[in-house]
Amino acid sequence: MTPTTDGGRLITGPMLILFAALVTLPFWVQSVGLYQYLGVEVAIWMIYALGFNLLLGYGGLPSFGHGAFLGVGAYAFGLAQFHVLENLWVGLLAAILVGIVAGGIVGLFLAHRRGIYFALLTVAFGQVFWFVSLKWFSVTGGEDGLLGIPRPSADFGLVEFDLSSNLSLYYFTLAVLMIVVVALWRLVHSPFGKVVRAIKQNETRASFLGYNVRLYKWAVFTLSATTAALAGGLFAMAQQSAFPDVMNLVSSGTIVMMVLIGGGFVSFWGPVIGVTVFFVARDVIGSITETWLLWFGLMFMLSVLFKPEGVAGLWQDSSGESPA
Amino acid sequence: MALFEAQHLHKRFGDQVVLEEINLSFEAGQLSGIMGPNGAGKTTCFNLLTGLYKPDRGQITFGTENITGLPPHTIAQKGIARSFQIINLFDEYSVLENVVIALPRVRDHGFTCHRALTNDSETADRAANVLAQVGLAGREHENAADLSYGDRRALEIALAIAAEPRLLFLDEPTSGVGTEGTARLTELIESLKERYTIVIIEHDMRFLFEVADRISVIHWGQVIAEGTPDELRTNKWVQASNLGKLV
Ligand SMILES: Nc1ncnc2c1ncn2[C@@H]1O[C@H](COP(=O)(O)OP(=O)(O)O)[C@@H](O)[C@H]1O
Ligand SMILES: [Mg+2]
């Protein structure tokens, strides 16, 4: 709360460390036995995870159907390319707008729920979206999904970047990630962010202080869904396709595990750490044994049982830092 | 005309009628006390007046406005604040953050996303002022959860007065604190009396009869007696119920 803390800053030390690590990633990723496209995936999942943690870590609202919004964003990006205009900004804007609409509508049904009722409804809505994507063949292409989605270049008027190579695609998604990090850091330290965290701690008291709890919960849900949809748009752009699988329970469940292992409840950086742990597990443990997901699952169980504050919590314990 | 009025309030939970017929009125600038035995429905009455429950019948007016059935946040925005009998704080937040969240100037900009709350010295000043009033100055950066019970009681009141209310409801503010804590809190309430219109539920009769301008006694779901402390001392209902023996 004092003006000297990081909360008031636009850019912070940990941000610079993250950005430095990611900006240099293409130069060292192959020397540690990994590959360029991994960076794209990591950046996209970090966006998704940061938006997810806005809801879980800051709002205390567990969504087990968030993959729906990732998927909605992916389809919106693809459909905009096919039916509106083959343009990167149009596609990403479509993902964001559809995210706002889908999140906003689902949020109406969720904003006055808490705990298990909230969680179960998110599962149900997630299934509804998945089912629609599977059955609404004329729009979504059913099980086959949308194939051959174009990946237009990033046109800034004066300069235009071709995104067909993995490297340029990576730097583009990284730029989006940086914007999301800065914006969400600002958001969680803004009056809105503080109110959302207050509501998580004590809904009743917040409402007796004059806060319209439902409206705040709706807003934070919609924001989180929109961030997921943006990540989904980037995903469709990167993969040049969109499938019902993006919306399934796996991508909804994986994000929960990532964010919890990383320590989303105690740190802004929890989701970033969690995504890193997940991809290291997938690609490093995965190169040794096919049962990597089992090991990741075990890690998740151990975390839930012994250290619900996750990796960020371990870090804070050892360095004596207070939660950020 | 009274600042706040409740007429013919009726509330039941399932088959249990808790409040049969409650009529209350509170004057601006006064400290009104509410007493009655445990389970009489005093807290339920506050819950109706501040919007947690809708009354099954009756009308509540604040100023000239009918506020019956409005949700808590709307009633709070109109200038009614309350504290809770069971302490109700933001336990992950520091003492300062608890108070800051309660300030109307933060509430009125609750949807501001683009600037940090920390960069605002006016907010910090107001919060410090509230904390000084309740004797928590210098404790800004302690966790609310780590405070002693007595200090949590003080913070509970701080949240209510941080809202800069036109009317302040306090539900058993000294409940559960020892003799020493009670002395401190009663001193605090006496000082608040100068600045706020207060309605207080209080089990310490000696204290209530000392500070209250008027007292209402709730029993059997009704206001069985109402008047100045002096009037109440001689009231037959108060003497008949053993509340009279306490004073
Ligand atoms: N939400 C509720 N649901 C059911 N019964 C309740 C509820 N709130 C209060 N009561 C009942 O109403 C009665 C009055 O309680 P309360 O208002 O807390 O009394 P007081 O504050 O005077 O001690 C009690 O019998 C209590 O069990
Ligand atoms: Mg009570």
| B137 or B114: which leads in pLDDT | B137
Look at A7 and B118 and tell me if their CB atoms are within 8 Å: yes
Look at B92 and A201 and tell me if their CB atoms are within 8 Å: yes
pLDDT tens by residue, A282-324 = 888 888 888 888 888 888 888 888 888 888 888 888 876 655 5
B6: helix, strand or coil: strand
Q: How many CB atoms lie within 10 A of CB A112?
A: 12
Look at A186 and B114 and tell me if their CB atoms are within 8 Å: yes
Distance CA A134, CA A197 (A): 36
A26 within a domain of the structure (yes/no): no
Contact B117, B123 (CB under 8 A): yes
B47 Cβ inside 6 Å of ligand 1: no
Question: Which stretches of chain B sit within 8 Å of chain A by CB?
Answer: 50, 52, 71-73, 76-77, 81-82, 84, 88-94, 96-97, 100-102, 104, 106-107, 109-119, 121, 124, 140-141, 159, 163
Shortest distance, CA A206 to any CA of chain B (angstroms): 8
A74: helix, strand or coil: helix
Tokens of B178: 């020892």
- CATH number of the domain bearing residue A107: 1.10.3470
For residue A217, give the nearest of A73, A54, A68 by alpha carbon. Answer: A54
Sign of CA dihedral B27, B28, B33, B39: positive
Long-range contacts of A134-139 (CB under 8 A, 24+ apart): A134/A244, A139/A75, A139/A79
Q: Tell me, in angstroms, the distance from the centre of ligand 2 to residue B19's CA.
A: 13
DSSP bridge partners of B201? B34, B171
Tokens of A25: 């990633």
Within 8 A of B89 by CB-CB distance, chain A residues are 202, 205
Tokens of A249: 């329970």
| Total domains present in chain A | 1
Per DSSP (E only), the strands in chain B are 4-13, 16-26, 31-35, 57-62, 65-66, 80-82, 167-171, 198-201, 214-219, 222-227
Distance CA B185, CA B170 (A): 12
Pure H helices in A136-165: 137-140
A25 within a domain of the structure (yes/no): no
Sign of CA dihedral A178, A182, A185, A188: negative
AA identity, residue B245: K
Amino acid A119: pLDDT: 92
Amino acid B52: pLDDT: 95
pLDDT tens by residue, B207-230 = 888 899 999 999 989 999 899 988
Residues B233-240 have a mean pLDDT of: 74
Residue A285, phi then psi, degrees to nearest 5: -65, -35
Contacts of A82 by beta carbon, 8 Å cutoff, 6+ apart: A146, A149
Amino acid A5: pLDDT: 64
Amino acid A291: pLDDT: 84
B44 Cβ inside 6 Å of ligand 1: yes
Contacts of A255 by beta carbon, 8 Å cutoff, 6+ apart: A45, A48, A49, A52, A66, A67
Q: How many CB atoms lie within 10 A of CB B62?
A: 22
Here the ipTM equals 0.93
Out of B18, B35, B84, give the residue to mutate to test ligand 1, the one with the largest number of ligand atoms within 8 Å of its CB: B18
Which residue range is the domain that position A53 belongs to? Answer: 5-20+33-319
Amino acid A27: pLDDT: 86
Contact A67, A122 (CB under 8 A): no
Tokens of A119: 């969680």
Query: Locate tokens 């907010």: which residue?
Result: B123
pLDDT mean values, one per 10 residues, chain A (324 residues): 63 89 86 84 96 95 94 94 91 97 96 90 90 83 83 83 88 95 95 96 96 97 98 94 81 89 90 91 84 85 85 82 55
Residues B66-71 have a mean pLDDT of: 95
Distance CA B25, CA B122 (A): 36
Amino acid B58: pLDDT: 95
Residue B11, phi then psi, degrees to nearest 5: -145, 130
Query: Locate tokens 């049904």: which residue?
Result: A109
